[in-house]
């Protein structure tokens, strides 16, 4: 354990020496550093809308898969109450999640329409 810690500290020290030895003229010649925005959004509202759209399309893709999975569970349950209960639970929670995502998508538009925005 001590060997690993020593190796980490030595490598950090050598790395610090290497990066600290770059002359200022070379660093200044490179020009200012620009940070690129990884999001396509410029405001918080646009970022939230993009996130809600992502969740919406993810739910649209995943919900039918989960409902088919629950149907398969019902088919192979063979009368076992525990398996039937699990299949019903999967369907119930899938539909609840889908309704929540649909409300998250439609409620802001409804509020904007009511408030005249």
Task: Establish if 74 belongs to a structural domain.
Answer: yes
pLDDT at position 42: 85
pLDDT digits over 93-111, tens only?
999 999 998 888 888 788 8
Confidence of residue 27 (pLDDT cuts 50, 70, 90): low
Task: Establish if 32 belongs to a structural domain.
Answer: no
Q: Which domain holds residue 89?
A: 42-115
Asked if the model's pLDDT at residue 69 lies above 60, the reply is yes
In Å, how far are 10, 12, 37, 47, 61 from 17, measured between CA atoms?
Answer: 11, 9, 31, 40, 51
pLDDT at position 87: 95
- Rounded to an integer, what distance in angstroms lies between the CA atom of residue 81 and that of residue 22? 71
Mean pLDDT in residue range 11-21 = 63
Task: Establish if 20 belongs to a structural domain.
Answer: no
Task: Establish if 10 belongs to a structural domain.
Answer: no
Burial class of residue 59 (count of CB atoms within 10 Å of its CB; 0-12, 13-18, 19+): buried
């Amino acid at each position: 354990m001590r060997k690993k810690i020593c190796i980490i500290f030595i490598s950090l020290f050598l790395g610090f020496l290497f990066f600290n030895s770059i002359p200022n003229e070379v660093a200044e010649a490179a020009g200012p550093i620009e940070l690129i925005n990884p999001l396509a959004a410029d405001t918080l509202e646009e970022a939230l809308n993009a996130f809600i759209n992502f969740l919406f399309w993810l739910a649209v893709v995943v919900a039918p898969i989960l409902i088919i999975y629950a149907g398969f569970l019902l088919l192979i349950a063979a009368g076992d109450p525990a398996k039937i209960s699990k299949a019903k639970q999967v369907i119930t929670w899938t539909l609840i999640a889908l309704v929540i995502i649909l409300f998250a998508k439609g409620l802001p538009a409804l509020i904007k329409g009511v408030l005249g925005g």
